[in-house]
């Protein structure tokens, strides 16, 4: 069964600290992996998209890694800010069709305290 599991479910850190969020998946055949940021009451916004051949990608203070062999990805946030408080969603796409079906994780709820 194709699944996307994220950990931890929730995380609280102090402003200025770094953190790492995890995503494990069983989706096959793999096409790409995406990380989205979703502020409370808003729609998700794309942070990174990585294909099979990419093992790291950065977007400002966000750095995503991908290990396609172990089917694991991480999202590292550097020097966290209060505005980083949000849900971070891992999404994996398969290559089963030209559309590419998307499998969503439940997200990690990050809270950054001052």
Partner 1 sequence: EADIYQTPRYLVIGTGKKITLECSQTMGHDKMYWYQQDPGMELHLIHYSYGVNSTEKGDLSSESTVSRIRTEHFPLTLESARPSHTSQYLCASSESLTSGTNTGELFFGEGSRLTVL
User: What is the nearest approach in angstroms of partner 1 to the Cβ of residue 110?
Assistant: 14
Helix H, strand E, coil C: the string for the chain is CCCEEEECCEEEEECCCCEEEEEEECCCCEEEEEEEEECCCCCCEEEEEEECCCCEEEECCEEEEEECCCCEEEEEECCCCHHHCEEEEEEEEECCCCCCCEEECCCEEEEEEC
Task: List binders of partner 1 among 69-108 (CB under 8 A).
Answer: 89, 91, 93, 98-100, 102, 104-107
User: What is the nearest approach in angstroms of partner 1 to the Cβ of residue 81?
Assistant: 20
Is residue 17 a contact point for partner 1 (CB under 8 A)? no
Contact mark string toward partner 1, 34..73, x via CB under 8 A: x------xxxxxx--x-x----------------------
Would you tell me which residues interact with partner 1 (CB under 8 A)? 4, 32, 34, 41-46, 49, 51, 89, 91, 93, 98-100, 102, 104-107, 109
């Amino acid at each position: 069964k194709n699944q996307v599991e994220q950990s931890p479910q929730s995380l609280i850190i102090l402003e200025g600290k770094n953190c790492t969020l995890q995503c494990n998946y069983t989706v096959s055949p793999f096409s790409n992996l995406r990380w989205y940021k979703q502020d409370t009451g808003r729609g998700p916004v794309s942070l990174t998209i990585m294909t099979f051949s990419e093992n790291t990608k950065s977007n400002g203070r966000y750095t995503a890694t991908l290990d396609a062999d172990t089917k694991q990805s991480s999202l590292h946030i550097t020097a966290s800010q209060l505005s980083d408080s949000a849900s971070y969603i891992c999404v994996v796409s398969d290559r089963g069709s030209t559309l590419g079906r998307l499998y969503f994780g439940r997200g990690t709820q990050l809270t950054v305290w001052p």
